[in-house]
Amino acid sequence: MPVVTYISHDGAINDVEVASGTSVMQGAVDNMIDGIVAECGGSCSCATCHVYIDDAWMDKIPAASEMEKDMLECVLEPESNSRLSCQISVTDELDGLVVKLPASQF
Amino acid sequence: MTEPCCIVIGASHAGAQLAVSLRQQGWEGRILVIGDEPFLPYNRPPLSKTFLSGEKHVDDLLIRPEAQYEKVGIEFLLGQRVVEIDRHNKTLTLSHGEIFNYDKLALTTGSRVRTLDIPGSDLRGVLYLRDINDVEQIRHFIGPDKKAVIVGGGYIGLETAAMLCKLGLAVTILEAGERILNRVTVPELSAFYTRVHNEEGVQIETDVDISGFGGQDRVQEVQCKDGHVYPADLVIIGIGVVPNTELAEAAGLVVENGIRVDAHCLTIDPDIVAAGDCTNHHNPFYQCDLRLESVQNAMDQAKVAAATLCNKAIQYNALPWFWSDQYDIKLQIAGISSGHEELVLRGEPESGRKFSVFYFRQDKMIAVDAINSPQEFMIGKQIISKGLKVDKIMLADSSVSIRDLLQ
Ligand SMILES: Cc1cc2nc3c(=O)[nH]c(=O)nc-3n(C[C@H](O)[C@H](O)[C@H](O)COP(=O)(O)OP(=O)(O)OC[C@H]3O[C@@H](n4cnc5c(N)ncnc54)[C@H](O)[C@@H]3O)c2cc1C
Ligand code: FES
């Protein structure tokens, strides 16, 4: 099963197995990782699942939809590697993915 | 001494979050969640959206998989109903008589559909939409060329109409009021949704007074007081919900359109908290009593309630928000618009499918309805919660980026 690494804003590292087809958001929620709130349950409506994608992985992840891009421009502290984690589906190719969690979601 | 036990009644959005938050906040005792549905807590919003369409399955709906609850020692007792709470002896009783002791109790009993009891409402094919079972029932009556009548033009009714239309049914919405979404929003939004549904092929009738349902062994028509008849293979009634407060009321807790809770989600009993659809709280921002029906409220109250049970005093002061998906339209609402004195439109509701409405009271923004306008929603949320001042003329000008208004 692919492993995703979630790094909290305070540096705490969580490596968890996330089944292919599951979103990066769900992987965090399932494992009770603080820092991803996911109020809308993954319907791209709340932006409380904002993460920063580790640079090495940016081009392996399909581009964001217009809706997601619009939301991302308005999150607190947006960066060029910002994504909504509910919109990223884990695949075997993403085994080893590293994401950082913003301080604002704690 | 045995370890302390916290029992959570109701296994849905609020109950699931409360149990998990209890652990995260450091509760070391037993956590038992009792729910009368046969499923682990699942996401309800997709029921009228992607679950109805068949895109999502039961497993996809679960808020968390079973193994994760096991890992942190959260126990579930599903398919069981609590029928009595004895606050004096700190026990509760299940429908088959079994008795449990609790040290702390959390009420997350949610709400149930308001029913319509008129002739024929017990016919097969006359259904509601609140839980997984309801959708499974609805599925039996879905098929191309079938006719569906939705009774009630609220958000759930409209979402259901949109999905059934997409699945190939001929859909009619019958609304008792003068416009759809009458209870929850302004005429501009009602007019917009009426136009969109019409464009998609859904028929909307307002000021309709339904007298009964007709049919042999299953529903065949909806009958109106004025003699009008609408043929139907499937009827879905969506006329709102009522909070599940009977248990609390019988236990002597204060119930006023929901279980009364304070800023810490505590009831009048220091060992009993409540969260979600079943509660009524005084909202500090809007200065009024509110019973909210949203996932946001269920989750945020649950977190506060869990902290309270762990002797950490945090206050519930989150800005309410809600969303609704219909066709290619995402509506995001922040704040509560009732009581507004002025509204500012950004974009054109009469054409296209993108605009937003900002609501003001005494020059303060109190709410925003954003249609396919996530930035307006996100920025609106910030303006409202921080109480920022905005230039209404610039706000109404969609050629000015909404983000510039914050500078
Ligand atoms: C079709 C549909 C679409 C929706 N869409 C949205 C949306 O897009 N956005 C949004 O924010 N909200 C939406 N909502 C509303 C949202 O689902 C509710 O606000 C939310 O489910 C409230 O959670 P809760 O845990 O407070 O209560 P509930 O979800 O009502 O859960 C309460 C649970 O407690 C159980 N229970 C009650 N009494 C007892 C008892 N005595 N013993 C044992 N168990 C008991 C009930 O059976 C139920 O399982 C939607 C709701 C529906 C039905
Ligand atoms: S979970 Fe709400 S936008 Fe991702």
Are B374 and A74 within 8 A, CB to CB?
A: yes
| Closest to B402 measured CA to CA, from A79, B383, B386 | B383
Handedness of CA A68, A73, A78, A79 (dihedral sign): positive
Q: For residue B84, which ligand has an atom nearest its CA?
A: 1
Q: For residue B32, which ligand has an atom nearest its CA?
A: 1
CA distance linking residue B299 with residue B276, whole number of Å: 7
Band the pLDDT of A105: cuts 50, 70, 90. Answer: confident
Closest atom, ligand 1, to C-alpha of B277: 26
Asked if residues B41 and B16 have their Cβ atoms less than 8 Å apart, the reply is: yes
The Cα of A98 is separated from the nearest Cα of chain B by a number of Å equal to: 21
Reported in sequence order, the residue ranges of B87-186 that DSSP labels E, i.e. its strands, are 91-94, 99-101, 104-107, 111-113, 126-128, 147-151, 170-174
Determine what percent of chain A falls in helix, strand and coil, rounding each to the nearest 5.
30, 20, 50
CA-nearest residue, atom 48 of ligand 1: B10
Query: Average model confidence (pLDDT) for chain B?
Result: 95
The Cα of B49 is separated from the nearest Cα of chain A by a number of Å equal to: 10
Asked if residues A29 and A105 have their Cβ atoms less than 8 Å apart, the reply is: no
pLDDT for the residue numbered B55? 85
Q: What are the boundaries of each domain within chain A?
A: 3-100
pLDDT for the residue numbered B1? 59
State the angle between helix axes of B374-386 and A66-73 in degrees (0 to 180), rounded to the nearest 10. 20
All domains of chain B, ordered by start, with CATH? Answer: 5-112+242-309 (3.50.50.60), 126-237 (3.50.50.60), 328-406 (3.30.390.30)
The DSSP string of B176-213 is SSSSTTTTTS-HHHHHHHHHHHHHHT-EEE-S--EEEE
CA distance linking residue B407 with residue B11, whole number of Å: 44
Residue B340 pLDDT more than 90? Answer: yes
The fraction of chain B above a pLDDT of 70, given in percent, is 100
The three-point CA angle A29-A35-A41 to 5° equals 40
DSSP B226: T
The DSSP string of B310-372 is TT------PPPEEEEEETTEEEEEEE--TT-SEEEEEE-TTSSS-EEEEEEETTEEEEEEEES
Q: Other C-beta atoms within 10 Å of B3: how many?
A: 8
Dump pLDDT digits (tens) for A62-87. Answer: 999 999 999 999 998 899 999 999 99
The Cα of B119 is separated from the nearest Cα of chain A by a number of Å equal to: 38
pLDDT for the residue numbered B56? 85
- Mutation target among A45, A66, A69, A84 for the B interface, most CBs of B within 10 A: A45
CATH class of the domain comprising A3-100: alpha beta
Pocket lining: B160 vs ligand 1, CB cutoff 6 Å: no
Bridge partners of residue B172, in order along the sequence:
B149, B203
Dump pLDDT digits (tens) for B366-403. Answer: 999 999 999 999 999 999 999 999 999 999 999 999 98
Residue A106 pLDDT more than 80? Answer: no
Residue A73 in contact with partner chain B when CB distance is under 8 A: yes
